[in-house]
Amino acid sequence: MRRTSVKATTKAAALLAAVGMFAAGCGSSSDGNGSDSASNPGGESSAPAATGTITVWADETRTPIISEIGKTFTDEKGVTVKVVQKDFGTLKDEFTTQAPSGKGPDILIGAHDWIGALVESGGIAPVELGDKAAEFQDVAVEAFTYDGQTYGLPYAVENIALIRNTDLAPEAPASWDDMVATGKQLVADKKAKLPIAIQQDPTNGDPYHLFPLQQSFGSSIFATSPEGGYDASQLTIGDQNGIEFAQWLSDAAKNGVINPNVSYDIATGEFAKGRVPYIITGPWALAAFDEGGINYSVEEIPSPGGEPAVPFVGVQGLMVSAHSENAVAANDFVLNYLGTEEAQQKLFEVGGRPSAMTSVFEQSKDDPIYEGFGTVGANGVPQPNIPAMDAVWAEWGKTEMAIIKGGDPAKLWKNMTAKIQKTIDGS
């Protein structure tokens, strides 16, 4: 959530280290045009001679698939696709610091909530989806839209939902109170250790996992602007709805429903041992539940505040660098090779997240897990992609944690709003 930026000084040191490495790597390094593993096989007579290279930064999961599709591109277009594996967590910062000096890629994968900062720093260029936009889920395209332009080709949608242990709680809860009552009864009967698990970091809180509940009180972070998207100049988190949520959070914590000590490990660990009937989490935790032999279902989060408790939706996609010297080939590869149903199907298979492409998602609906997460996500709101959001996360989480630990909800919430406003104004 928090970005860790590389200081300018480190960059300077890295530059010098690179000079050293140039010297040390004498002979073995490539010539920059990349005679890499993904190079043109050249065996096919119809394949044009390789005339250029486009570089893609991808994470571990997607590198093999993009390399594979890149080979097709090389065969048909004669452009080498060099896929460089990067750590997803640091990819954005690496791109931000390296792209202006020409060391960045032509294409990068990333999360939609990076695009605000990447657009405003001039790092990525618009990607015109054209008529293809209709093939993707609305929430996915909306997520990759900034100031009226689209800046990426989405491929996966990710969100949290309610996961219910169907052995402990056979019935889907009718309401939030119903769920809490069932959970408490199970705890009282010594069948469960916690009524419900909503993960929290004991110091930083976890606003992401609490947001659906906050949203159910009608509380949002920023107002939406008339053209769509969020308006950074209108911070709405501190309004009456927000304070009502803060009050509810305080009560829920006193009531034992939200526990400050239930970290991610504890929440998923206890659920995987069958000692919690309900958990609010995402698809990343499912492997542990399957391993624990838990029978579960994925469904909508009941609303404590009256309005639907919809989560933030995170969308992953492919973006094109504004610094690319090969923008034609980069756009061609992204739109016409990675934007096909076949490619999206492959990206879905390795990623294990509901596809952003409607047709691929529909096919995956036979699996109740994808159906569950996907349906909750389709109703969700994109996590704000404006850079001002960076000023929100840390303070938001710490404040919620202070409220959960018994602080005065209204006072803390107002103080948080003032601090966030200060941070936004200050930068």
Name which of residues 281 to 320 contact other proteins (CB under 8 A): 320
- Judged by CB under 8 A, how many residues of this single chain contact other proteins? 84
Beta bridge partners of 385: none
Interface residue with other proteins, options 42, 89, 122, 306 (CB under 8 A): 122
Neighbours of 301 (CB within 10 A): 24
- Cα–Cα separations (whole angstroms), residue 159 to 139, 298, 304, 355, 412: 12, 12, 19, 12, 28
Using the Cα atoms of residue 280, residue 372, residue 356 and residue 63 in order, give the sign of their dihedral: positive
In this structure, are residues 318 and 152 in contact, taking their beta carbons and an 8 Å threshold?
Answer: yes
In the bound complex, what is the minimum distance in angstroms from residue 122's beta carbon to other proteins?
4
Interface residue with other proteins, options 398, 403, 413, 417 (CB under 8 A): 398
User: Near other proteins by CB under 8 A, which window of 181-189, 277-285, 373-381, 388-396?
Assistant: 388-396
Give residues with Cβ within 8 angstroms of 256, minimum separation 6.
184, 195
Interface residue with other proteins, options 297, 303, 363, 415 (CB under 8 A): 415
365: contact with other proteins by CB under 8 A: no
Interface residue with other proteins, options 30, 42, 89, 128 (CB under 8 A): 128
In the bound complex, what is the minimum distance in angstroms from residue 145's beta carbon to other proteins?
12
89: contact with other proteins by CB under 8 A: no
Query: Which residues, numbered 230-249, are part of the site for other proteins (CB under 8 A)?
Result: 232
259: contact with other proteins by CB under 8 A: yes
Interface residue with other proteins, options 225, 336, 345, 363 (CB under 8 A): 336
Interface residue with other proteins, options 60, 290, 307, 325 (CB under 8 A): 325
Q: What is d(CA 343, CA 118) in angstroms, rounded to the nearest whole number?
A: 25
187: contact with other proteins by CB under 8 A: no
User: Running DSSP on this structure, what letter comes out for residue 355?
Assistant: B
Question: What would the DSSP string read from start to end of 365-378?
Answer: TTSHHHHHHHHHHH
Structure tokens at 175: 């309401």
In the bound complex, what is the minimum distance in angstroms from residue 263's beta carbon to other proteins?
7
411: contact with other proteins by CB under 8 A: yes
Q: Shortest CA distance to 379 belongs to which of 354, 344, 359, 397? A: 354
In the bound complex, what is the minimum distance in angstroms from residue 40's beta carbon to other proteins?
12
In the bound complex, what is the minimum distance in angstroms from residue 183's beta carbon to other proteins?
17
Interface residue with other proteins, options 56, 79, 162, 257 (CB under 8 A): 79
44: contact with other proteins by CB under 8 A: no
The backbone torsions φ and ψ at residue 123, rounded to the nearest 5 degrees and listed phi first, read -85, -35
Query: Which residues, numbered 4-33, are part of the site for other proteins (CB under 8 A)?
Result: 4-5, 7-9, 12-13, 15-16, 19, 22-24, 26
Interface residue with other proteins, options 47, 172, 266, 350 (CB under 8 A): 266
Return the H-helix or E-strand segment holding 197. strand 197-198
Q: What is d(CA 90, CA 122) in angstroms, rounded to the nearest whole number?
A: 19
Interface residue with other proteins, options 121, 225, 340, 375 (CB under 8 A): 121
CB closer to other proteins out of 197 and 313: 197
Structure tokens at 85: 């594996």
Beta bridge partners of 320: 107, 125
Q: What is d(CA 184, CA 229) in angstroms, rounded to the nearest whole number?
A: 40
Neighbours of 303 (CB within 10 A): 17
CB closer to other proteins out of 50 and 309: 50
Query: Which residues, numbered 145-164, are part of the site for other proteins (CB under 8 A)?
Result: 147-149
Structure tokens at 99: 């792209």
Using the Cα atoms of residue 415, residue 159, residue 274 and residue 213 in order, give the sign of their dihedral: positive
2: contact with other proteins by CB under 8 A: yes
Interface residue with other proteins, options 56, 141, 294, 335 (CB under 8 A): 335
In this structure, are residues 209 and 280 in contact, taking their beta carbons and an 8 Å threshold?
Answer: yes
